[in-house]
Amino acid sequence: MPSAPPPEALLVTVAPTGAETSKADCPQLPTTLPELVAAARECEAAGAAMIHVHIRDDAHAPTLDGERLADTVAGLRQETALVVQLSTGGSVHDPLDQRLKVLDAAPDSCSLTMGTTNFGDDVFSNPWPFVCDLYQLSQEREVVPEFELFDLGHVTSLTRLLKTYGLPYGGKVHCDFVMGVPGGMPGTADALVAGVAALPPEVTSWGATGIGRSTLAVGLAVLSKGGHLRVGMEDVLTLARGFPVQSNTQLVERAVAMGALAQRRPMTTDEARALLGTRPAA
């Protein structure tokens, strides 16, 4: 088994698309497969090692279509060495049974949110039985989950899940705090410190992302606590007030520059696979 990357190695995950922003509002959002692959290649060159993927249909609307998901995984694998993580969160409108089927596309990793969260005016539904089903399916299919923690209570649920069902495929436990969602924990250094302090001992690595304006506060707090970074247009659409993000690469470059100030260098894709315990690259 490959050894764990050194502490200075920084996992940068890019979440380029998400399910919330419309193409009409943000034409630079990568919503087609060629756009996604081009963004992935540029972000890999800029220092990203993992991609968190939501896909869109021909009308640029969020979809969990199985064939499109499989084509997306294949396209990303062909053109990049990135760890491919498919979202099982989808959009707030996606039914639970379709979200389970995402694993049929055989990604390296999948997101797995540890509880239900108010999500703006909507509800992001993750009932406990669904969390357990998805987790056991990920173990069976040898897909490494990234545990998404939107609130402090989700950390408690993660502890319960690991106690009940054991370790993920690959034996590593990686989680990601998703902070600043209206309805979840705030995107602040204080909230991050509380979350990290509550993590169960099985956790081998963690990262965080701050939604919207909390992106910088969370990113800087992550670096001072020794965690990893997720950035991308799923989470933030402005570089600063009045300066719209033009490409995901800009956000990855900024994350890499922030890491450099903290004397962290971007992790390679091989190091990311070792960190996360994913199946070897095809």
Site residues, ligand KMH (CB under 6 A): 18-19, 87-89, 91-92, 111, 113, 119, 124, 148
Q: Measured from the CB atom, is 124 or 135 closer to ligand KMH?
A: 124
Closest CB 85 distance from ligand KMH, rounded Å: 9
Distance CA 134, CA 14 (A): 23
Nearer to Zn ion, 5 or 124 (CB): 124
**Which of 16, 144, 19 has the alpha carbon at shortest distance from 80?**
16
Using CB under 5 A, pick the residue from 72, 87, 113, 278 that binds Zn ion.
87
Residue 148 binds: one of ligand KMH, Zn ion, none (C-beta under 5 to 8 A by kind): ligand KMH
Pairing mode, if any, of strands 50-53 and 83-86?
A: parallel
Q: Whole-number minimum distance, CB 112 to ligand KMH, in Å?
A: 7
Among candidate residues 88, 52, 274, 50, the one with its CA nearest the CA of residue 172: 274
Smallest CA-to-CA distance from 29 within 268, 280, 244 is with 244
CB atoms within 10 A of CB 47: 23
- Which CB, 87 or 205, lies closer to Zn ion? 87
Residue 73 Cβ, how far from ligand KMH at the closest point, in Å? 15
User: Is there a contact between 229 and 209 (Cβ–Cβ < 8 Å)?
Assistant: yes
CB of 19 to Zn ion, least distance (A): 7
119 vs 135, beta carbon nearer Zn ion: 119
Using CB distances below 5 to 8 A depending on partner kind, what does residue 92 bind out of ligand KMH, Zn ion, none? ligand KMH
Please answer whether residues 245 and 234 qualify as being in contact, where contact means their C-beta atoms are separated by less than 8 angstroms: no
Instruction: Please name the residue that has the structure tokens 């971007």.
Output: 266
Q: Between residues 155 and 181, which has the closer beta carbon with respect to Zn ion?
A: 181
